[in-house]
Structure 1
């Protein structure tokens, strides 16, 4: 069970961060990343508009695409109240993707938003954020690989 990619899309649909999280992840070029980010943003907006159920008061953070499952991967997204979308792809059956995305959001608030030189909606260039995400992914993947042996 491996995390494959992480990408972050701003509220305008622009890709502000992307990373390969594993050697198993397919290599994707910069133009493809930009296309994926804007396409996901558009599909997310269409899904939010087409959603038959809405909470009172308009749009909420759960509108749109939350999870997509295919034969070879699962895509999970987390939209913040400000419209930033964190998207994680992983191998099928990878547990706790939603929780990992929330932890990545916390890292974003700690490492990126508190950086006095970061401007909202602009690409994320924080080495601190990159290292924190790498440490989180390694910790979670090690916990997942250890836990099946604990239950036997």
Structure 2
């Protein structure tokens, strides 16, 4: 079980939080992370339209050869993306707990501006505790 990274993408497709936790992913520049988050936002929007039943929240899991991206779309349009090993069985549960930490630490902070980068020591420490 390995968690490689966490991204939080706002409803406009901008990366508002990015953190790496383990070796295994390529080291990218901040601009490359911004481009990747925007691309994932677009792919997620496209996959929500491809559903044969007509209603879908978009891609929930994208697997590569050596990693898995699990995506949680919230009611406000914020996306939480967890990058893990292929064998990670609890990514969905972990994303729910991360979302709860976000709601408690970030959204209840009167000094946080929605859609702006997350700069919260409380959120960072809760994420560290969840992934330890």
TM-score, length basis structure 2: 0.95
Of residues 124, 131, 135 in structure 1, which corresponds to 2:125? 131
Runs of 4+ in structure 1 deviating by more than 2 angstroms, as ranges, are 23-26
Q: Which has the larger radius of gyration?
A: 1
Q: Does residue 89 in structure 1 map to residue 83 in structure 2?
A: yes
- Offset of 1:96 from its aligned partner? 0.8
Q: Does residue 54 in structure 1 map to residue 60 in structure 2?
A: no
What is the number of equivalent residue pairs in this alignment?
A: 132
Work out the CA distance in 1 between the residues paired with 2:68 and 2:59: 12
Q: Which structure shows the higher helix fraction? A: 1
Q: Does residue 10 in structure 1 map to residue 6 in structure 2?
A: no
**Does the 8 Å contact 1:51/1:63 carry over to 2?**
no
- Offset of 1:29 from its aligned partner? 1.2
- State the SS of the aligned residue for 1:22: coil
- Which residue does the alignment assign to 1:34? 34
- Offset of 1:127 from its aligned partner? 1.0
The runs of 5 or more residues in structure 1 that have no matched partner are 56-61, 139-152
TM-score, length basis structure 1: 0.83
The runs of 5 or more residues in structure 2 that have no matched partner are none
Structure 1 residues 21-67: Cα deviation after superposition (integer angstroms, max 9, x where no partner): 11333322101110111000000001111221234xxxxxx511100
- Which residue does the alignment assign to 1:150? none
- Across the aligned residues of Structure 1 and Structure 2, the Cα RMSD in angstroms comes to 1.1
Work out the CA distance in 1 between the residues paired with 2:44 and 2:128: 26
